[in-house]
Structure 1
Amino acid sequence: MLVTERSERIRTNSGGLGLAGARSEEFALLPLPAAPALLSTEEGIVVRATEQAAKLAGETTPAALIGCRLADLVVRDGPVSLLRSRTGQHPVRPLSWPHADDARLRVTVLVDVSDLADGGHDAAEAADGDERRWLIEAQRIAKVGSWVYYPETGELYRSPVLAEFLGDSGAQEAVGVLAMIEATHPDDVERARQFYLDVLTAPEDELLEVELRDHAGKRVYLCTGRAEYNRAGRVERVQGTVQDVTEHRALERQLRDERRKLQDAQRIARLGTWEWDLRSNVMRLSNMLHEIIGKPANAPITFDSYLDRVHPDDRGWVRRAWRPLVEERDPIEVEHRYLRIDGTTRILRLHGTAIKDADGHDVLVGTAQDVTEQRAVVTRMERSSQRFTDLVSITPVGIGLFDRAERLVDANDALCDLLGYQLDQLRGMTAKDITHPDEQHTNLPTPAENSGIRRRVPQRVLVRSDGEPVYCELRTSASVQDDGTHFWLVVFQDITERRRAAEALRYQATHDDLTGLPNRTAVKDLLHRLLGRADSHRVAVLFCDIDNFKRVNDSLGHDAGDELLVALARRLEGGLPAGCTAARLSGDEFVIICSDIEAVGGVDSLANRVAGLLRTAVPVHGQLIRVSASIGAAVPDGSASGGEDLLRFADAAMFEAKGRGTGKVSLASPALMASADRQLQLEGQLREALNNDGLALHYQPVVDADGVVVTAEALVRWPHPDRGMLAPDAFLPVAEQGDLLRELDRWVLRTALREAATWPVRGGRPVGVAVNLAGLVPGGPEFVDAVADIVAETGISWDRVILELVETALVDLPSRTRHEMGELVSRGVRFAVDDFGTGYSSLARLKDLPAQIIKVDRRFVAGVGGDASDFAVARAVVDMARAMGRQCVAEGVETATQFHVLSGVGVDAYQGWLFSGAVPAREFRDLVARGPMPIPGA
């Protein structure tokens, strides 16, 4: 490129000697043969000469020849040429060819033929030798080899340079043309052969060209060929050249790649170039810029036509923005909207500056870039930033920006309101200044910069301007401003109300809703702390159960019972000595925990004091209710007893006290504790039996007046591996204390329905099955779903299922519970009131009980044959049940007299030893299969 540019300057020059001489040093690096040689431009101006050429021309230095015209130095004179010199004219034979580095420069070697011109044969041979040597050297410099082929003889002559190209030693210059063709790359062999054939058939003097690679594919050669014909029209010989153009082609590829990369870069950047000739007022645009503005590449454009497409709102100031460049030649930068011919609007950013051309005239050049998408992104970012700013401003949580020294730089209104300051007051305050003095941590929980991690502090106590504490949750994140400054973004969430709500929830979780006393959870926590101390032997637990509390609920209602419990709780709170805590476990059970029994005078003293507090008369619903409590006490026995053990021992002692009568106190003795341990062991065995189907069901039939079995009550038994068959009264209290009643009811219901589904059917009427529920009761969690799942699992018909509940479980039922029972009734399930008549105000409540079957208690049935009162009660219940559309079943029928009396008053069905006791499942199947049972006295 350097040679080309310098040659271009010489070529455009007038060719004077002085100018060429002044520029000759620029071509000093170009190679020339070690012979009389000249380097000239296309116009024939000599730009360099060798020492040999200067000596042959009679000049003292080569500089004397630079700037001369080659035609003036060497003139044709007949068969030879003459070199004009200071000493006259010198015969020469000029040999000329393009220079290997720049085809626009030519190398001319002057062969001295003065001896040949004088007719000397030896001199001629010497001249030919020199000419041959110089020619070979010139070919080697020009990287050009030559060849001559004679078709008639098949001889091929090649120059030594060509032999070097082909990888031969050059000792043999004559080879076959096919051998030279085969020396090309395998992929180019066919093309080489076709080239040779084309040369043989081409018109005389027509020069053909082809590019071929060497056999290894590393070098590229430009091959030329021309045929010479004899008078007969046959090809006499073919001659040509082979020039190594590998570097030229590599340079061309590099230039093409660079041009492509530049074009790709401009296309990617949407960047074009422009040039404005102020003399012609014509602007020349690059293809990319034509594409950007939407004008064809051949469409002329002037500055005025460019301004016509500028957006009308921008045109005036854009014209003024160009003035510094046009008038003062100062660089400019302009960004404006441009209206394309297709109607779209683009945003262009232009840069312009002034340069001098070769003639010294000013030319304005520059770039134009389409930044429409960039501006759209910036606009979106600005809008997003504004939305973020607006959001921060209106968000109800406090937001603050702190510098790296933890000084508040900015804050939103919510943070100002939260802390009670104006913004100008908050600015400059540190994190420590707004933190409550009692707070241990005053620094911000700042994450590492550029870590991408956000920190959260669940609670930090701040201080308002009025000194009031504010509980906040903090969230911090590192961020960077537009100028690169790091800061902390901190969000302050006021959790004061949440904390109060959490404390309220925590209070609810650890305190009884009715009385406000600590509940079972709080008792466990307190005992765990006390028993973990070194003086844990001083701890005492009192378990208190209100005597006959059930009677209050049944006679006056649950509201009255609740009122009584609250009154007793207040007496305990106000009357207990220091170090003692009263708690309510459930129902009418209270627990007293003493942290130091010696400080209050011992267990007996504390128990008597508590007994006195609970032995009182309490006005409830206008009535004065006298109450007392059975109390059991327990202290650590030196073993590894825990809080649950102490509660269990105190509970067992309370049951022992209750067995001795009302208002009694009992201390858990070692024997009692051992018994409680046995009960606990029995509870574990019962739990295991439930999990492994270790229980069994017996069934007692219920018959109608004709002795037909209509239903059967399922009664659970426990075949204990060590204690034999246990009746319900032996393990139901254990199940109740171990909270197993619900699980036990599920097992009984599932087993009873599964076995009943296999009972035989006589007379087309299947036998129903009744299950007494104590833990799985209406109003409990998932009552309806549990029953429905078991019925679906066993496949029994809904109308064969009877669920028995005690009368007190069906009193004062909430509307939701009644709805649940009604849902089951609608499917066919029947509810039965068990032991009816043992409750309080039973007859008054009969109409409200959501049950279809009334079972008269055995205590009234036992006396119907001789006690007029029992007979009256039984008859009243039967009459009322019939009037209300309910079925009446008599329990405990053991004599024929009882049967006949009850039958006379209209009882619908009978259950008792008169017909059958509870029998195992297999025997009950046989009993049903035998048909109606005999009626005594019939």
Structure 2
Amino acid sequence: MPVRVRAPYAGSDSLGLPANLQVIGIVFVSGKLVQVEANLFDLALLSVLILFFGILQSHRSQREYRMWLVAWIVVMASMLVYSPALRSTGWQMVTECMRVDLLVLGGLVFLLSFVEQQTSRNRLIRDIALLWVPCCVLLNLLSISVAYPWLCVAVILAGETVVMYLAEQLVPEGLPRQLIRLEGLLGTVALLVAVWSGNPSMALSVVLAEVFIACAILLSVSRNSDGAGKWTSVSGFVAWGVLYAIYQMTDIWPSVSIVLGHTWSLPKYMVGFGMILMVVEDDTERISSLSEEYRLLYESNPHPMFIFDPATARFLSANDAAAAAYGYKLEEFLTMTLFDIRPTEDHQKLALELAQLHGGRQIWRHRRKNGEVFEVEITGHDVSFGGTKARFSMCIDITERERLNRELIYSAQHDVLTGLANRLLLEERAQQALARAARDGSKMAILTIDVDRFKQVNDTYGHMVGDECLKGIAARLMTRVREADTLARTGGEEFTVLIGGLTSTRGAQAAAASLLGTLVKPLTLSDNEIAVSVSIGVAVYPDDGADLETIRKRSDKALYAAKRMGGGRALMTTDEQAGEEESAVNIESALRDALQTGGLELVYQPIFDATGRFARVEALVRGRGDYLRKVGPGAFIPVAEESGLIVSLGRWVLEEACRQMADWRERNLPVFDFAVNISARQLVQADYTDSVLQTLERYGIPPALLHLELTETTLMGDFSAMARIMKRLSEAGVLFSIDDFGTGYSSLARLSELPISTLKIDRSFVMKLLESEAAVGIVRAIVNMSRHLRLEVVAEGVERPEHIKLLLALGCHKFQGFYLSRPLSPEALEAAAFAGDTAFDPSPFRGYVPVEDLDAIVSA
């Protein structure tokens, strides 16, 4: 084969083969040897290889395949750039630089395709540029002129620095990184020699050899498989790089040029065919891997899976999970049929199911070896097993899922604290009960229940005790609710009872009375005994409305009316008295009119000492007219509180009591203390202190004669403001009493901060003294506490002489109650108290009180 004479570097071929090695290909055509330029042959063959490779990898997602295709296209572009048309005078230097640059770029794309695949695309582009730019600058400088050796040296050092940096970042540790470092070091030395000797051809050979041998190193360690394709490509890259090193020996051994002419393109084809083989091998390995994965997925799946013959129901295959789930050994399981894992009563149903199997999910009942029946969710598909039609099934035990589902449904429909139905479930059942009542012609009742003054329990004992209190109330109410009815917690301290199947409203009334009766006795919670009451509003279908919303509103309205009347009672919305006499609107209107027209009056209930003599009076407001007299203060006082009339009412009571006291003083009747009840709303008025003192001064009443009585629950409001006002009045001489003590949940710490002079024991404890040891203990504790705090004690609700005996024995020496005296008009009080009569003879009670104490009281 003829070989051209060695030419300068600028005349090298498109794949790095210098012009003196641009050989003539020998093709056998029609029995003759035909000489063709190697460039055209390479271009045609490489085009076919690239086209085939592009088609092969077009539907694959691997990034390295796409990079291989790009690299081959760039290599082919380097050949096209070095076409005869572009090698004319004036363009030869440009085309040579472009050819070299593209060839190096193709090699670098190959090189970076073998790094870790998780490297981002942007970083790959950056790394390729970092490697390519120094190579292009160096080779282009040398191809133009070798007059700038120090600039070339700087470029070489910069480029090799980049190589070492990227090797640390991208090349695996161990031998591959060491080889890249060694190759970089040798390449640097060779490039320096090429620059120093002014040999640009040597520089090109070194760069290309370094790139393609590095490709071989990275490819050898970048893939897990060791197929023929990988090692064919590795060998091709090695040969591709080595040929450039061999080329430098042509000056010493010219015969080498002949060998290079025959073998110059062989490495490229080895790399190309090796890459095609790698794509095919990857597909084969992936398919094999998928088959293995499916087998493992079946055999190692935690869910029971089996394949059975639909015609005979016999099991053809099963995984270990299926045998374990049903309690059999795998060998035993494979001798059974579907009928063996279904309950006997389901066999007929199973036969029908086998006759018309459908895809998708179904719920079946299965049976374990121990007889336990459980529900499973089956996912089934038709498959081919051993060449015959079969059925694949995957079973999921839904026992736990169903349990959790039931728990979720229960949680969604029940109150977390009490376990009662919540508003959602109540609504559902109410709609059903309403429809049933409409269909049957029966009645349905809604009872709305609210705990009276529950906020005071939370404020006094804390929310933990408050929650226990709510649970206790729910338990009490539940004892009086029929199984067919519904008790629900529909708010913080609100409950609702749904009662169906009633024949008359009497049934609803009876149910409400029964519910009220459950809370007669106090709740015992840990160390606390708490007395609670509830208010109930009752509405009945169809009497109070034809739809659920109307009935609910009427029930709420009745509840509010019951609470305005003081609580602890049940009201029907259809009750005429609730609609007229007990209507809050009517009461408020009557009260306003009474304040303006003098329709109120005061009566006075005496308080007696241990000698039976008159000690003090309590002023109580009454209505003069028939309406207010009928509803009583128990109804109009709560309305006054809610409407704000209590301020005007309280001012009138104080004014009238002081006027009456001044009248008695003017007539030289005996001087005595008097008590007036006040509310929290009155006490926190900005001008209340001045108003009280001015009223006393106007009538000439010494402040020490006035006792202002507050209920214990009054102190649950703005305590700091009330304490400040009470102290100002106390400093002026006004006395304070705590009424109904023991029922308001007040704390001793708060009592000790207030200027209290008297505690009045609530009548509920006095009434139970003769029948409850607990009540005796409470009264004894109050008396003992009062002694230590130097407070006076008055017992309310004295109804029997035995009460006086026991109270004296417990140390209480002041009494108030119907046994001693009912509230009296001013005229009656004058006749009884000022005549010097005693309410009772103290001599029979001497045995119940220390003689010296009684004598001291009498002598005083």
TM-score (structure 2 length as normaliser):
0.35
Counting strand residues as a fraction of each chain, which structure ranks higher? 1
Counting helix residues as a fraction of each chain, which structure ranks higher? 2
